[in-house]
Amino acid sequence: MNTVLMHTCCAPCSLSCIDPLRAEGLEPVAFWYNPNIHPWKEYQARRDCLLEYAPTIGMEVRVREDYGLRDFVRHVAADIDRRCVYCYEHRLKGTAQYAAEHGFAAFTTTLLASLYQDHDGIARAAERYAREYGVAFLYRDFRPNFRAGNQLAREKGFYMQKYCGCVFSEQDRYQKQIDRDRARFQAG
């Protein structure tokens, strides 16, 4: 069976990708590289959920441990609204580089499962770094499996994150409540 390095943002999203890849005769090797996820407890919860689940289905996990808060913020602070571009590119560059350095012929990413991410932007970034590092990017649209994957993750009791990963996306998650609180306290 051929292996493919699968950049993995979290265990729940991986459920949308693993079975379809295995059905094609490809064995995913999960690659944890997510220096965008903050705060530390969120990073740890997502990583550890993946590490606990993978052995139960015989999936190998490679970890590039990098809690990159300062570096991430330094790169996105000047243009927070475009942070996702940097985030995709940085993680996919690291994945392509790791694939090339460790003998993988191809890589993919669980980011392609999300209904909430810039699917085309992810694919463009992956193609760019595949060319740069001389490995193939295995494009698959895993989005049709997203809801079923999330339901299975809930059934398995996985840690289910409530925001994309960075501290700015966490703020976006709470923005309506922040606005309501601001209005409430300004009224008094």
Annotated binding site for [4Fe-4S] cluster: 9-10, 84, 87
| Annotated binding-site positions | 9-10, 84, 87
Number of other CB atoms surrounding residue 56 within 10 Å:
8
Residue at 31: amino acid letter: F
Bridge partners of 2?
Answer: 26
Bridge partners of 28?
Answer: 4
Q: What is the 3-state secondary structure (H, E, C) of 62-124?
A: EECCCCCHHHHHHHHHHHHHHHHHHHHHHHHHHHHHHHHHCCCCEEEEHHHHCCCCCHHHHHH
**Cβ within 8 Å of residue 112, ≥6 positions away:** 17, 119, 122, 123, 139, 140, 141, 142, 143
Task: Work out the widest C-alpha separation in the chain, in whole angstroms.
Answer: 66
